[in-house]
Amino acid sequence: MDFIDLKAQQALIRVHIEDNINRVLDHGKYIMGPEVRELEDLLSDFIGVKHCIGVSSGTDALLVAMMALGIGSGDEVITTPFTFIATGEMIVLLGAKPVFVDIDPKTYNIDPGAIEAAITPKTKAIMPVSLYGQCAEFDAINQIANAHGIPVIEDGAQSFGAEYSGRQSCALSAIGCTSFFPSKPLGGYGDSGACFTDDDELAQAIREIRVHGQDRRYHHPRIGLNARMDTMQAAILLAKMQLFPEEVKSRSAIGQRYTEMILTARDQSGLDASALVPPYIEAYNTSVYAQYTVLVENRNKVLESLKQQGIPTAVHYPVPLHKQPVFTDQMPQLPVATQLSERVMSLPMHPYLQAEEQNTIVDVLINAVCSD
Ligand SMILES: *Cc1c(COP(=O)(O)O)cnc(C)c1O
């Protein structure tokens, strides 16, 4: 069993992927070829925003978005500590300071109630992460941000395809950023990512920053970098987009099936509700379950049991960013993130996961939790 099976999807569209790759080999425009713009147009329609700008990775999408907003030395960006390193890392790379605030104990996304108190005159952005595939609380976050005139950047690296009150992830704030790393909900066969915005000026800035701050050939009004998306990745993603809308539905259904199975099995085994907690998805949200992540009490033992039964698992994330050595200059007390980081574990999850496989996984999981 694979933690994420990328082969089942490939088997369905292999010919289409090969056709698209061959087209790139034929025209030879490996950098900023026509497929990049074609993908940008397709994705901006899909997300329902005016501009999509393809970039070299999800990490670079965050970097370029913050550069477009002029974030730099001495600035502060409010974000969540319960995320992948890139979120906090890019803030520091620009000379700014990540201000970590605690997370909601149900959704594990940034707690909007903790944001206001963290705002200072230096705050230049709020950067929520839509963790595990469920959007953060954007209405509440945007309300606070608007009251203070601060832009919001969504780190939607795990939530591409998810809906928040009927709107798409990456269309919920000034700039939405995502990643097309192979294991993300929409994944290529290499690194790439994208920024989304409705703002013409921000879109222009992002496009310029993506190519060395250039507005026309060899003319550079600003500092940028090489953050271009490869034509080859765009070609592969164009093929994958044929399946993606169906995969979004499958992901959501498979996640819900996991939750039903876990709740039924938990009740039947007489376990306490706190012994095994499935993900909580708000009624107005759909999750794409980039990770299907549960809470257990004795994680190391449970992980070991699953490993022995041939079921791959992962921990997202064992150390919250405010506890990472690289950020130790500011060590706020963030009890929710700290406690959750000791209890979370992710189960195999992908759009082609079969009900029988899920049954096996849940059986083994329940036994492991019971014998703990
Ligand atoms: C994967 C991920 C990123 C980074 O994306 P890359 O394409 O790997 O650079 C950033 N933030 C979060 C929350 C992620 O999960």
Give the tens place of pLDDT for each residue, 5-62: 999 999 999 999 999 999 999 999 999 999 999 999 999 999 999 999 999 999 999 9
* Residue 100 backbone dihedrals phi, psi, to 5 degrees: -85, 130
**Index of the ligand 1 atom closest to the CA of residue 193:** 7
Supply the pLDDT for residue 295: 98
> Biggest alpha carbon distance in the chain?
69
Alpha-carbon distance of 36 to 300, in angstroms, equals 44
Q: Which residues of the chain have pLDDT under 70?
A: 329-331, 372
Confirm or reject: Cβ of 191 under 6 Å from ligand 1.
Answer: yes
pLDDT reported for residue 48: 98
Q: Can you give the pLDDT at residue 250?
A: 98
Distance of CA 361 to the CA centre of its chain: 24
pLDDT of the residue at 329? 67
Look at residue 328 in the predicted model and tell me its pLDDT.
72
pTM: 0.98
Atom 6 of ligand 1, nearest CA residue: 58
pLDDT at 330: 64
Residue with the nearest Cα to atom 2 of ligand 1? 157
Whether residue 86 has its Cβ less than 6 Å from ligand 1: yes
What's the order of all strands across the beta sheet hosting 97-100?
Answer: 97-100, 76-79, 123-127
Among 6, 91, 63, 56, CA closest to 330 = 91
Ligand 1 pocket residue status of 155, Cβ below 6 Å: yes
Nearest CA to ligand 1 atom 5: 58
Question: Does ligand 1 have an atom closer than 6 angstroms to the CB of 57?
Answer: yes
Give 270 Cα–ligand 1 centroid separation in angstroms: 38
Q: Report residue 184 CA to chain centroid gap.
A: 7
**Would you state the structure tokens that stand for residue 38, as one six-digit string?**
């074609």
Instruction: Please say whether the beta carbons of 251 and 184 come within 8 A.
Output: no
CA–centroid distance, 319 to ligand 1, in Å, is 16
